[in-house]
Amino acid sequence: MDENSDASWQYKPDSSDENQEPVPDNSGANSEKPLSKTADTISWTASEYIDHQHSSGWYGALAGGTLVLAAGIYFLTKEYFATGVILAVGIIVGVFASRKPREIKYEISNSGIRIADKKYSFRQFRSFTVVNEGDINSVSLLPLKRFMPPISAYYPPADEERIVNALGEHIPHEDRKPDRIERLTSRLRF
């Protein structure tokens, strides 16, 4: 059988590709049409995350809670490894809680969003939501990949409308309530 005899065959994507943007047709005269109404780039600089000041009492409660949990696990299981892991996790949480946030440059363009040195295509995200965190808001980008965590981008309150509108041209906006982990980290001020 000749290799070219089945020239009428075409690839038809399955249902997993329905949420992705269509590939632009480069055969027509409108091939240089931009993806959105705005051709400009929006950029800003903001903190990596909200810097919660932790008192010595907070660190004491973390140390006490870690020790009580480690002792409880040791008395229940008599395993040194599990006890060591709990102590190590407590130390790591304490170290990360004392770390100061970096100032990060954010940029939204027609090709995607750049956070620091990492570039993300709009096709990587299912939707976005605006998260109110008190004095400052953030945009949480929900990825299509199952095990990829949501990506947060903090911004100045004055730029909220421009940023939300720019993202809304490429990704659907979704009002979403915080999940259990987000509520727990907010309550712990972590």
Domain boundaries, the chain: 42-51+102-187, 56-98
Residue 77's SS3 state is helix
C-alpha to C-alpha distance for 25 and 116, rounded to whole angstroms: 32
Beta-strand relationship, 136-143 and 151-155 = antiparallel
CATH 3.30.200.20 fits 42-51+102-187, yes or no: no
- Average pLDDT of 44-53? 73
Alpha helices in 7-156 (DSSP H): 56-77, 80-98
With a cut of 60, say whether residue 10 has pLDDT above it: no
- Average pLDDT of 40-61? 78
**Structure confidence at residue 116 (pLDDT):** 85
pLDDT tens, 59-96?
Answer: 898 899 999 999 999 999 999 999 999 999 999 988 88
**Structure confidence at residue 27 (pLDDT):** 38
**Cα 158 to Cα 38, 141, 168, distances in angstroms:** 19, 20, 17
Q: 122 exposed, middle or buried (CB, 10 Å; 0-12, 13-18, 19+)? A: buried
With a cut of 50, say whether residue 23 has pLDDT above it: no
Structure tokens at 43: 């950029």
With a cut of 80, say whether residue 188 has pLDDT above it: no
